Every structure is written in C-alpha cells, then in structure tokens.
Amino acid sequence: MSNRNKVYWKGLEQLKNDPEYVKYAEKEFPDYLPINGNKQSADSSDEGSSRRDFLKMMGFSVAAASLAACEAPVRKAIPYLNKPVEIDPGVANYYASTYTQGGDYCSIVIKTREGRPIKIEGNKQCKLTAGGVSAQVEASVLSLYDQQRLTAPMASGQKSDWQTIDQQIKSALASSRNIRIVSQSILSPTTKKVINDFINRYPGTKHVVYDPQSSYGMVSANQQNFGKAVLPAYDFSKAEVIVSLDADFLGTWIAPVSYIKQYARRRKLSGSRKSMSRHYHFESNMSLTGSNADYRVPVKASQQGLIAAAVYNGLAAKSGAASLSVGQLEVPFLDKAVDALWSAKGKSLVVSGSNDPEVQMVVNAINDLLGNYGTTIDLEKPVNYRQGNDQEMSQFVDDVTGGRVDAVIFYNANPVYDHPQGGLLGTELEKVALKVSTSDRMDETASVCDFVAPDHHYLESWNDSEPQNGHISLTQPGITPLFNTRQVQASLLTWAGAPQTDYYKYLTETWKSVYFPGSGENDFETFWNQSLYNGVVEIATSSVQEPENSPEEDSSEETAGISFDPGMVSGQIQARYQSDNAETELVLYQKVGIGTGAQANNPWLQELPDPITKAVWDNYITVSQKFARENGLTMTEGKTKMANLTVNGVTVTAPILIQPGQANGTIGLALGYGRTSAGRVADGLGANAFALVDRSNGSLSYQITSGVTLEITSESHSIGQTQTHETYMGRETVIQEALLSEYQQDEYAGQFAPKIATWKGDEEKVAPHTVTLWKHHQDEYVNHHWGMSIDLNSCVGCGACTIACQAENNIPVVGRDEVLTRREMHWLRIDRYYSSVGVDDYSSLEQAAENPEVTFQPMMCQHCNNAPCETVCPVAATTHSTEGLNQMAYNRCIGTRYCANNCPYKVRRFNWFKYHDNDQFPENSSMNNTLGRMVLNPDVTVRARGVMEKCTMCVQRIQAGKLTAKQEGRRPTDSDVNTACASACPADAIVFGDMNNPESKIAKTLQIDYHEDRKEVAEPRAYTVLQELNVDPNIFYLRKIRNKDEENA
C-alpha cells in the first residue's frame, strides 16, 4: 500500500538489500543442475560432468530401458483371506477418535484405507476443537509408522517377552515400599482409575505429574485466589479486547487449537459485521500470537510482572480497588490497553504465559476487576490440559537422589530429556531398584530403565479423555497394534494383578457404571456406539471418582470470589521484576511444530517451517537487530555463527538467528530440540534447552533474567530458512491490508486496483483484465468451478494446512541440505511478510526491524484461468480443466522447468531427486521404508525424479466427492468435497468449494453475483494476488484488516 509508505519485506536481507540476496533474487530460479548428486560440493566450482559422461549415461539408460521393457514383471493380487465386512479395498473408512499427547488434546477423525490410518481430520462434533487440528496432530499419523518404535518389550536393553518382564516387574514391585508413577498430565479419567487401582494394590505408590512446559504457576495462583487448583476455560470468541502477556495462545500455550477457533471467530469481517476484537500483546520473543496481534510491544521478560501490575493498577485506579505498590515503568500502548480493557468490561480477557504464581494472581485480579469470570473465563468447568505439579516433581528428583524410591514407572514421560533436572535424574536413577519405562521407543529415560514395556501409539489404543470437565471424548484405534506392544493401562492392571487386564473391557465397564447411567439412553450398547461414532460426549457433571490429592477434587466447591492480597503480591513482584535489567535475558519457547519434542522424530514436523523464522530442522538463539549490530553479526541466506549460551553453569551451543521484533536485551531459544535418543531423524538436531529452565522459585520458569551469557564463536553454521526462497521480483501488492476504521468507512479500503497503459496513452489506462489475448476459460466452466478463498484476517499462520497437505498429497521431506539449496517441496507454503512504515533511508532500517508488523499468506498454486505455466509447457503436461483447475500430468512432464520459471507465484516444485526408495534421503521416512510407506495416500501418485509438481486443489478429493454425488444421483455439496488444507484450518480461514453453486460456502464468502454470462466476486475485501498480470487466479484472498488506531498505524 503505497499511500501509507509501508514497506513489505520477507527477511532482513531483503530489507537491507544485501548483495547476496539480490544475487539470488535476480536469478529468480536459483537452482543449479545436480548432475553429480553431490550435495555438499554443489556450490563449489567443481567441473560437473562431461559430455562423455552424458553419453555413457545415455547409452546405459537406453540399454536398461529396452531390457526392462522386454518382459513385464509378474504382479500379484492378494485378496483378504477373510475380508472384514466394514473394509472395502479402495474405500476409505473414518473413525472418530481423540489425539492426546500429555495434556494436549484434539478430537479427530481417522481416515483409514485398507485398515491403515493415512490421514487425520478434525472432528466437527467436538465443541472444543470444532474440526480444527494443529500441525502436530496432523503429523501424528506418521509417528505411528516410525521405524524407531520398539517392537517388543525390553529387559536390560534386550528384547524380551511380556510374560517374563511381567513376572520380574511384579516380583520387584512386591518387594518395593516406595513406588512412583511419573507421568505427564493425564486427560483420561479411566486411566486415572487404573492408576488408583494400582495404588490400592501397592499403597506405597505415589503418582507424580509434571508437564514439560509447566503451567503450575497458574494452577497454584488459582488455588490461592479461588481455592481451586485448576486451569480455567477461556473463551476468546467472547472477548472484544485481549491482552496477552507473553502467552502464545495461538501457537503453543495450553490448547491452541481451541483458542485459534475462538479467536478467529472474532477476526472475521463481513458486510454485516464490521467489528473485530482488538489484541494487545506484550512479549520478548516474536511469537505466532504476537505476530497476529494488533498492537505488539516487545518487552523484557524481567518486566512482565511490572506490566501485569501496571495493568492492574490502571484498572484499580478506575474501579477504586487497592493498588499494588510496585515500581513504575514506561511501556508503549500500556495505557491504551488499560483503557480498552476498562471500556470492554466483561467482554475482555487478559492472559499471561508466565509460570510465576504471583504474576498469575495479578492477572486473576485483573480479570476479576474486569468482571470476566463467568463470561470469557469459566472456572466452573475448568480444563484439565495441564495438571503437572512442579514441586512434587522436584520432590521426586530429590527422593531419587536421596535413595528414597524403590521403584518407578514412567508413563508417557521422558523427564531425563524434558525436565530441567533431567541430567541429574539420568545419573541418579541407578539408585532406584526397579525402573520401568512405557515409552514407545528407547528414549533418553527408557535407556536408563531396566524394563521397557512399550505403549501402543494412540492410533492403536482404546482410551477416553476429559479435556474439560463434562466434556468426554473417546479414543478408538484405527489399526490393530503393529508391534508386540501393550497399552500402559493394561500393563498397570497386569502388574497390579487386577481381575480385568483387558483395558478395552475395563474401559467399557467403567463407562457402563459411570457415564451410562446419566446419559438418558436405555441401552449401553447404543450409548457406547453413539459415543464412539460422535467421538465426544457432553455430560452434566464429571462423575468419575478422582484419585485423592487430584486437583479436580475441589471442583465441586462454589466459587467464593477472589481472595487477593495486594500487599503480599506487590512485595514478591517488586523483588522479582525490574524495569531496567541490564543483563541479557533468555526466554525459552516452544516451536509450533516440535513443541516439547515428544514428536521430534517426525520429519514432517522437523521440516515444517517455523511460522515466524521460517527455519527448519534446527533450533537457534534469536537475537535482536540491535544486538547483532553491536556484536558485528550478519546473517544472509541462513549463514550465521554458532554461539555458546551459558546459564548458571550450563552451556549449550546453538546458531544465532537475527529476529526482527525480538525485544532488545533478550534472546530466545526453542525447547524440544537436542534429542539424543529419539531416533534417526531427531537425534543431534539443535540443542536441548530444558536444562536451562530456571526452578529457583518453586515453579519452573522459562524466563531466565540473570546469569545468562552469550559468547559468539567463530564457527559457521547455515540455518535452512524458506521464506526468502521464492521471490515476486519486487511486486509488493501481494499483501493488501487496511485499518479497521478505514474498512468501516470504505469496504474497499486498501484495495490495489492496477491500471495498465494502452495505445491511447497514459490518460486512458484500463483495468488489466480488459486487455487480453486470452480466450476466457470461464465460459467453459459449465459443470463445476472450483475456487478458494483465504481470509488473511483470520489466518494465524499456524501451519496445520501445510502438514495436512503434506499428508494428503504424499509430499516428500527433503532434509536440511536440500532446503538450504532451495529445494523444499511443500505445495502449500505460508509466506510471512514483515512490514514497517516509513522506511525510506538506512537510518530507519533498524527501527523497522525493531518491531515490524507481520502478515501471513498461505500460498499455493493459484489455479489461474490464464495460467502462464500452461502456455510455456512444450509437452502440454500442464493444462486447464473445464472445472477451473490447473492440471499437472506427471507422466507427461519432461522436466524442462519452464512452467516454474514462468509462474509468478513460484509455487511449482521440481523433483530434483528420486526422494522415495532412496537411501540418500533417510529423513523422508514416509517413502523410504516399508513401515513408513503405509502412510502414503494410495489415491495420489508418488512423483518420480525429474517432474514438476504443485497443488492440485486435492483433485483426488474432488473426484471422490463428485463420484459420491453421482452415485446418489445429486449435485455435490460442500460436505462432499473439501481440500485437505481447508478442512484442517483451525481458524476456518480457508474456504473451498464450487463457485458455480450459489448455495456453497465459497459463493457466500465471496458474495458471488451470478449474471447471465458470467460470475462476479462482489466481496469488497476479496482480491487476487498480482492482479496486474491478469492471470486471473481462482484463489481469492480477503484483505487483512488491522484493528489499530490511525495514529499508531
């Protein structure tokens, strides 16, 4: 938008116009021929292969081809011996189930083909996630087929059998007095019942719960304020003003899928609703949530407590409550946020990502002042996502060290890796006589255990879960267990000598006695089957008997108002926080893809570009632009230096990444990396930051404000970053945006309507589409006209669509080296643009990088009606369909790459290598081993080397949906056809459908007007990218609207 003098840039190199960036940018297609296949020496000036080599290769290929053609191989068709009635080869079955990973929850639908889960979809029946999924949930189907999973129980590192280890474990347990079960948060009430049974059998047992990313501070704050040790349920969709203090609720904080769903509802605009929520964000690292905020303020971690107190004091002054006596600090937009909150009393929400109980108490007090309890915050039906107790876990480590533990069972827990005291635990565990892990692999904890009783993958398990009180959902298996594994619950029941060791039966019996009586159904079978079918059940009250000491114990008590003692809290805050900390501060965070590292061995997640940095396969120390300048650091095309980061005596080594928006004086580092025993994909990637977590205050703190030293070494490193890879050659109108106030006055605000000159001269410029050599394809679209709309206003950039696309379309993983040479294969990328106002000279560059605005734009094949790629293909391998699709016939493609050169959106991907059945790409585990290949979608071709590929608009789903409709003798509707990206989107930002169908969601979103001879998109916010080229895409974007005031824009 030139009128505001706003500059869009993808990375610092572009902002600074770095020569190397320019070199690549001008080359546009910066690949070189990989004839030698030598990835390392590729950019050195080696001779390459000679003409003679080429002739040799040619001769050999011809001979090989003719030999191969002589006889067709005999292929076998092997039918079932006894075909299960519900399976028809070639027809997908869907099962409602539940994804849980510790306290992370998502209600899902498993798509299976011939009994193999191949794709995860969201479950629309669930009120919490409402059909949304996250990248981690989507990718979990590949973890099922992880080669590193244990195939049998292990005893002392050797394969054993269940009978043997059961016997040994039982006898060891019988002689143990102090037994500990260590687990992450357990959402399943029936599993808790199993643990209770175990405790009843072995009364010396204590259940210790911890979370790799702890929310214990919040739980204890609620305990002190309300007498309830719980996490409240939030409803962002009811909040008109949201203030977040470093809570990355759209990315990784507690339950992002639900929160995105709620948040996005208030970010949708239409002619009938022209208001949206306003979001203030105060944080140190640039997070996904911060990048979506209307006002993002970089602050130091050491200021968080004071900011919370300042907000409280501001509101207290307005309401007349007692204020906190803490130091003052100057933070931009803080007063504005306070005013906004006060004017939206009862319709606002303040959240904090801090794990400091004092800060959380202040936040509770703020929300109480605002009257948000009962509207945007629900304490009556708390959520169970995080139940970890930092103190108990700490006590456990002490007990182990002190030799006070005889036996320990780890369930879904890997504390040696993901607890700050993991290193200590790893060495001290040998003092425990019996150590049993139930990990699915030989992870860091399992390798120091005597026995490993491997658990099923969740897609092989029966279970239930209660993410929020009264909301129960069922996990049902999508496949029979692949290996000789056993569900932990069955193991615990066996070791406890329970009469019923079959967990499925145990589960149904529990449901029969607990949930069925209140369900109103007459017949348990009907109730059970209906619950399984829906995947979720809403019940009036949680009637499961909780184990004693459980946080839910007190949930039945009445909320008796907040008990908040300003004096005590201000003392603590004053002691811990300061406005002018001179030391470097470290803020540890999670990446959207890797999280706490539980699924680190999943190559899809490793290659998912981080939403902000767009870096893959690494963690790194994010530093501010100012820090970089002071230390003489530069970073171009991912080339950077390594640094040693020392926190209170613990040193980790990681590369430096200069991050615009990073608060000065702070640095960031992601958790979840540095696995040593997760498997082939994850081992050795990045550095383990868990050891740096601070635990001096009783609860774990991910913000370390003192004792941090950063020492830059001379060692070089390259970080694979995807964002600068595809360039639009300086065409900056790809992003269109406006302010809410402008939009309210003019729905077309921010529109870029290019005009082009004609022979009549400059005065009579016309719209590009009026001057064209193309015959209009649209006339041919009599049957269907598929189209897509992407709302830039509600897209938060979470990356679920990218992984959904990867799973649906058999997209290979290429590995870090290939990403460094710009050969990532994702069909759907999310472009992240920074923007800043008023960059016109070098002096303003740094300011621009201080705190840029961020825009996310999912970018895939635009299915242009006048597609430039189609005209240049010499073999007509890419053509246009009569349904508006730009089709790609792989078997016709000869790999000239003309199409990719001519594509203005740079969305075409070339298969530089054979990525399947190729030992050189071990990372690509979904195509390079027989186990991994089970995840491939049998309806989509695995592409060969040397062909182009790109988004097909999930044509296999379109065809399947049309067929369903034809078989039923009707026209297809929205429920028949949806693309993988649109169905995965937790924000419902992507809408796909048939634009010829006036009833479709896409027609309503784009407000299509149907004229006699043409259709017209009437939604004022809709635009197509690079309209001036008149390629006429079928993908529409809805302009981004920022809820900012004019003077701050």
Partner 1 sequence: MFATLRPVGCHLLPILVFFFLSLTSVRAQSDSTGTEVASDTSTVETATSQGGISDEAVIAEGESLFNANCRVCHAVDQQLVGPALAGVYDRRDMDWIKSFVKNSQAVIASGDDYAVSLYEDYNQTAMPSFNFSDTEVESIIAYVRAEAEKEPEVTAAAGDTPGVSSQATEGPSNFLTVIIVGLVIVLALILVVLFLIINFLTKFLEKREGLDSADREIIAQKFSLGKLVKKPAFVGIVAFVFGIFVLKSVIDGLYQVGIQQGYAPKQPIAFSHKLHAGQYEIDCNYCHTGVRKSKSANIPSANICMNCHGQILTESPEIQKIYAAIENDQPIEWVRVHNLPDLAYFNHAQHVAVGGQECQTCHGEIQEMEVVEQYAPLTMGWCINCHKETNVNTKGNAYYDNLVELHAQHSKEPLKVEDIGGLECAKCHY
Give Cβ neighbours of residue 61 (< 8 Å, ≥ 6 apart).
none
* Minimum CB–partner distance for residue 489 and partner 1 (Å): 29
For residue 560 the two structure tokens come to: 């008796």
Element (H, E) at 658: strand 650-658
CB environment 27-56: b (16+ within 10 A), e (fewer): eeeeeeeeeeeebeebeeeeeeeeeeeeee
What's the burial of 557, exposed, middle or buried (CB within 10 Å: 0-12/13-18/19+)?
exposed
Q: Does 567 bind partner 1 (CB under 8 A)?
A: no
CA distance 291 to 49: 47
CA distance 893 to 905: 20
* Minimum CB–partner distance for residue 86 and partner 1 (Å): 12
Task: Pick between residue 222 and residue 865 the one whose CB is nearest to partner 1.
Answer: 865
Q: Does 872 bind partner 1 (CB under 8 A)?
A: no
The separation between the first and the last C-alpha atoms of the chain, rounded to the nearest angstrom, is 12
Q: Does 22 bind partner 1 (CB under 8 A)?
A: no
Stretch that binds partner 1, among 329-337, 412-420, 473-481, 954-962 (CB under 8 A): 954-962
* Minimum CB–partner distance for residue 205 and partner 1 (Å): 42
CA distance 517 to 536: 17
- Inter-residue contact 383 to 552 (CB < 8 Å): no
Stretch that binds partner 1, among 361-369, 430-438, 631-639, 953-961 (CB under 8 A): 953-961
* Minimum CB–partner distance for residue 810 and partner 1 (Å): 11
* Minimum CB–partner distance for residue 73 and partner 1 (Å): 9
CA 1033 and chain centroid, separation? 28
User: How many CB atoms sit inside 10 A of residue 741's CB?
Assistant: 15
Task: Pick between residue 33 and residue 72 the one whose CB is nearest to partner 1.
Answer: 72
CA distance 340 to 330: 18
What mask of x and - would describe binding to partner 1 in positions 961 to 990, judged by CB under 8 A?
A: -xx-xxx-xxxx------------------
What mask of x and - would describe binding to partner 1 in positions 819 to 858, judged by CB under 8 A?
A: ----------------------------------------
> Which one among 64, 91, 317, 767 touches partner 1, defined by CB under 8 A?
91
Strand, coil or helix: what is 763?
A: strand
CA distance 148 to 294: 43
Strand ranges in 246-331 using DSSP code E only, listed in sequence order: 278-283, 295-298
Task: Pick between residue 242 and residue 955 the one whose CB is nearest to partner 1.
Answer: 955
> Which one among 33, 81, 540, 560 touches partner 1, defined by CB under 8 A?
81
Stretch that binds partner 1, among 86-94, 243-251, 463-471, 546-554 (CB under 8 A): 86-94
Report which DSSP code applies to 702: S
Backbone angles phi and psi of 600, in degrees to 5: -60, -25
Q: Does 882 bind partner 1 (CB under 8 A)?
A: yes
> Which one among 348, 722, 881, 924 touches partner 1, defined by CB under 8 A?
881
Task: Pick between residue 631 and residue 882 the one whose CB is nearest to partner 1.
Answer: 882
CA 676 and chain centroid, separation? 23
Q: Does 83 bind partner 1 (CB under 8 A)?
A: yes
- Inter-residue contact 133 to 986 (CB < 8 Å): yes
Q: Does 939 bind partner 1 (CB under 8 A)?
A: yes
Q: Does 89 bind partner 1 (CB under 8 A)?
A: yes
- Inter-residue contact 291 to 797 (CB < 8 Å): yes
> Which one among 3, 45, 67, 75 touches partner 1, defined by CB under 8 A?
75
CA distance 755 to 335: 43
Strand, coil or helix: what is 207?
A: strand
Q: Does 67 bind partner 1 (CB under 8 A)?
A: no
> Which one among 562, 650, 889, 931 touches partner 1, defined by CB under 8 A?
889
CA distance 357 to 363: 10
Residue ranges in 782-811 that form contacts with partner 1 under rule CB under 8 A = 782-783
* Minimum CB–partner distance for residue 886 and partner 1 (Å): 9
* Minimum CB–partner distance for residue 778 and partner 1 (Å): 14
C-alpha closest to that of 218 among 357, 352, 349, 379: 357
Q: Does 54 bind partner 1 (CB under 8 A)?
A: no
Task: Pick between residue 177 and residue 970 the one whose CB is nearest to partner 1.
Answer: 970
> Which one among 40, 82, 163, 714 touches partner 1, defined by CB under 8 A?
82
Task: Pick between residue 78 and residue 560 the one whose CB is nearest to partner 1.
Answer: 78
Stretch that binds partner 1, among 54-62, 83-91, 133-141, 311-319 (CB under 8 A): 83-91
* Minimum CB–partner distance for residue 66 and partner 1 (Å): 9
Q: Does 33 bind partner 1 (CB under 8 A)?
A: no
Sign of CA dihedral 436, 438, 444, 445: negative
Angle at 611 (CA atoms; ends 609, 614), nearest 5 degrees: 45
What's the burial of 877, exposed, middle or buried (CB within 10 Å: 0-12/13-18/19+)?
buried
Give Cβ neighbours of residue 6 (< 8 Å, ≥ 6 apart).
835, 836, 837
* Minimum CB–partner distance for residue 1033 and partner 1 (Å): 17
Stretch that binds partner 1, among 136-144, 314-322, 485-493, 876-884 (CB under 8 A): 876-884
Task: Pick between residue 633 and residue 965 the one whose CB is nearest to partner 1.
Answer: 965
Q: Does 775 bind partner 1 (CB under 8 A)?
A: no
CA distance 863 to 861: 6
> Which one among 76, 273, 775, 1011 touches partner 1, defined by CB under 8 A?
76
> Which one among 835, 952, 1000, 1027 touches partner 1, defined by CB under 8 A?
952
> Which one among 959, 998, 1010, 1018 touches partner 1, defined by CB under 8 A?
959
Q: Does 79 bind partner 1 (CB under 8 A)?
A: yes
Total residues binding partner 1 (CB under 8 A): 47
Give Cβ neighbours of residue 746 (< 8 Å, ≥ 6 apart).
none
Q: Does 1014 bind partner 1 (CB under 8 A)?
A: no
- Inter-residue contact 253 to 247 (CB < 8 Å): yes
Q: Does 883 bind partner 1 (CB under 8 A)?
A: yes
Task: Pick between residue 550 and residue 937 the one whose CB is nearest to partner 1.
Answer: 937
Residue type, 283: E
> Measuring CA to CA, how many Å separate 675 from each of 128, 256, 693, 924?
32, 24, 16, 18
Q: Does 885 bind partner 1 (CB under 8 A)?
A: yes
* Minimum CB–partner distance for residue 890 and partner 1 (Å): 7
Residue type, 63: A
> Which one among 448, 888, 984, 990 touches partner 1, defined by CB under 8 A?
888
What does the binding site for partner 1 look like in residue numbers (CB under 8 A)? Answer: 69, 72, 74-83, 88-91, 782-783, 877, 879, 881-883, 885, 887-892, 939-942, 952, 955-956, 959, 962-963, 965-967, 969-972
